[in-house]
Amino acid sequence: MEVDHKDLKEDLLPLRAVKHVELYCGNAKQSAYYYRLALGFSFVAYQGPETGVRDRVSYVLQQDKITLVLTTPIRSDSPITDFLVKHGDGVRDIALETSDAEKAYNMTTERGAKSVAEPYIIEDENGKMKLATVEAYGDTVHTFVENMDYAGPFMPKFQATPKDTLARPVGLTYIDHIVGNMDWNKMDEAVDFYQNVFGFSKFVSFDDKDISTEYSALRSTVVSNQNKWIKFPINEPAEGMRKSQIEEYVTFNNGPGVQHVAMSTDNIIETISKMRAQGVDFLNTPSSYYDDLLDRVGDIDEQLKTLAELGILVDRDDKGYMLQLFTKPVEDRPTLFFEIIQRKGAESFGKGNFKALFESIEREQERRGNL
């Protein structure tokens, strides 16, 4: 799907799309290697002591319209070091593209967002950008990024790198949604924050029904900006058939934070095949999941056998269907992971898969005589 962010309609709060996601990590040099060779990103820009930045190193990685920044502190007295001690590797900043960083900052802080950085301009020989940052949930923040006249590789003060010959692209195209995990009974507070402070709306979709709560042990509400290019499902733990994975996340992350970043592809079979070949670990899908798949989702373009070989999940809503698969956590704490998604009409987020996966695991238990 070809969309130029600059053409996207803006809200009262002038936000267009997710500009980039910055992850703090313990060793960005080595993580960058995984993101390039396993996840298919190209290394496009760099910042560090060689470019005059004394306390950190940042690697900018791109695949089509997705930009990730991996940042590592190089001094123990850096606040980034405190973040890593507390949370481990994870998302720090969901940066949002705007035509007016000052307005975005003023409107959100007037409505109660806590300030992290007042509007300021950064510039180099490639031009200027205006930035401002506010708190989101936990230690996650949103930086408003306004491109004033910048035409360089990423942002002022970053140096372009030579063409990446190591990267092995897998066809990821844009960020579909970014999910935040909250503590018990904190979902509504976070949803209210995005509605009242950011002017987002609840994104009503087919999977809003609470039928899956007992299987998923989580509750989820999706908020989005008006042009729907920024979609944030917000989760909280719930009592269910099994211990909530959201509770586990909050325990190991030491509080709320980003659970997963969903990245879109136009060909999930090709993308997952490449990622598997490049060593990415995905959640296991029991083979019995495919026993009743076509009964649940009806006609699909893909071969059932191919989907089963790759473990790809399918869900349908009233608008169409979607294919998805989740990586295992990409660090040693059971926290951040990625979702690969291909939408074929469906606008929902795959809640039907919680029940389907649960039932398929039970079928396998039954086959073993353990139910």
Instruction: Specify the stretch interacting with Fe ion by CB under 5 A; choose among 125-133, 201-209, 277-285, 346-354.
Output: 346-354
Told to check if 183 binds Fe ion by CB under 5 A, we report no
Q: How far is the CB of 113 from Fe ion (least distance, A)?
A: 25
Told to check if 310 binds Fe ion by CB under 5 A, we report no
Q: How far is the CB of 47 from Fe ion (least distance, A)?
A: 30
Instruction: Specify the stretch interacting with Fe ion by CB under 5 A; choose among 146-154, 182-190, 347-355, 362-370.
Output: 347-355
Strand order in the sheet with 313-317: 201-202, 218-224, 231-237, 172-181, 257-265, 337-344, 320-326, 313-317
Told to check if 146 binds Fe ion by CB under 5 A, we report no
With b for 16 or more beta-carbon neighbours within 10 A and e for fewer, the 180-210 pattern comes to bbbbeebbeebbebbeebbbbeebebbbbee
Told to check if 207 binds Fe ion by CB under 5 A, we report no
Told to check if 346 binds Fe ion by CB under 5 A, we report no
Q: How far is the CB of 21 from Fe ion (least distance, A)?
A: 14
Q: How far is the CB of 170 from Fe ion (least distance, A)?
A: 18
For residue 257, what are the contacts with CB-CB under 8 A and spacing of at least 6?
A: 87, 90, 91, 137, 138, 139, 140, 180, 181, 249, 335, 336
Residue 302: helix, strand or coil by DSSP? Answer: coil
Q: Which residues from 242-281 bind Fe ion, rule CB under 5 A? A: 262
Q: Of 147 and 259, which has the nearer Cβ to Fe ion?
A: 259
Told to check if 315 binds Fe ion by CB under 5 A, we report no
Instruction: Specify the stretch interacting with Fe ion by CB under 5 A; choose among 54-62, 111-119, 235-243, 335-343.
Output: 335-343
Q: How far is the CB of 315 from Fe ion (least distance, A)?
A: 11
The closest of 140, 149, 148 to 116, measured between CA atoms, is 140
Q: Of 181 and 225, which has the nearer Cβ to Fe ion?
A: 181
Query: Rounded CA gap, 254 and 83, in Å?
Result: 10
Instruction: Specify the stretch interacting with Fe ion by CB under 5 A; choose among 50-58, 159-167, 237-245, 342-350.
Output: 342-350
Residue 235: helix, strand or coil by DSSP? Answer: strand
Q: What angle do CA 339, 73, 90 make, to 5 degrees?
A: 20
Q: Which two structure tokens, joined as six digits, stand for 181? A: 């995990």
Q: How far is the CB of 179 from Fe ion (least distance, A)?
A: 5
Pairing of strands 172-181, 231-237: parallel
Q: How far is the CB of 95 from Fe ion (least distance, A)?
A: 20
Q: How far is the CB of 222 from Fe ion (least distance, A)?
A: 9
Q: Of 137 and 349, which has the nearer Cβ to Fe ion?
A: 349
Instruction: Specify the stretch interacting with Fe ion by CB under 5 A; choose among 84-92, 279-287, 290-298, 349-357.
Output: 349-357
Query: Rounded CA gap, 232 and 220, in Å?
Result: 10
- Indicate which single residue of 22, 236, 331, 339 sits in contact with Fe ion (rule: CB under 5 A): 339
Q: How many CB atoms lie within 10 A of CB 15?
A: 27
Query: Rounded CA gap, 35 and 51, in Å?
Result: 22
Binding interface with Fe ion (CB under 5 A): 262, 339, 349
